[in-house]
Amino acid sequence: MLSGLDHLVITVTDISRAVDFYSRVLGLDVRYRDRERVDLMLGDMALRLHWTATDIEPRAATPTPGSLDLCLRSQLPLDEVHRHLQALSVDVELGPVKRQGATGELESLYLRDPDGNLLEISRPLR
């Protein structure tokens, strides 16, 4: 019945700060839908940013900044990703460490976005 994920909504306290982080630090392309909704393109899907105070309906029952735990796949080796993050003064909380992903074993780095969401950047181990 289902075939994939189209978009995932991330509730943020400051759209411009989140756009800066996800575009500058993680390299995602930005598409502005309107003042309160921004899409960060990730392949054929989007991470959609919604501002905390938005009145967009329908939405989650309790949209809360900092409640997301998201694993993103990297095409680059994690040592390159780590160097990139260090050059931008982005703290890596953990990693590289081995983890189990949806399709097999991963090597992962963990960091946080400006709202405190936990981001795992991973690369399959083969």
Q: Each residue's pLDDT tens digit in the chain (126 positions)?
A: 988 899 999 999 999 999 999 999 999 999 998 777 799 999 999 999 988 887 788 888 888 999 999 999 999 999 999 999 999 999 999 999 999 999 999 999 999 999 999 999 999 997
The domain locations on the chain are: 7-124
Q: Has 80 been annotated as catalytic?
A: no
Give the helix/strand (H/E) hosting 61. none
pTM of the model: 0.92
pLDDT of residue 67: 94
User: What is the rounded distance in angstroms from the CA atom of residue 32 to the CA atom of residue 35?
Assistant: 7
d(CA 89, CA 92): 9
Task: Judge whether 84 and 74 are in contact, CB under 8 Å.
Answer: no
Out of 3.10.180.10, 3.90.1530.30, 3.30.1330.80, 3.40.50.1100, select the CATH number for domain 7-124.
3.10.180.10
- Per-residue pLDDT at 77: 94
Catalytic residue among 36, 57, 80, 120: 120
Identify residue 35 by its one-letter amino acid code. Answer: R
The pLDDT value recorded for residue 23 is 97
How far apart, in whole angstroms, are the C-alpha atoms of residue 76 and residue 88? 17
121, 27 contact by CB (below 8 A)? no
Please, are residues 12 and 115 in contact by the beta-carbon 8 Å criterion? yes
pLDDT at position 11, please?
A: 93
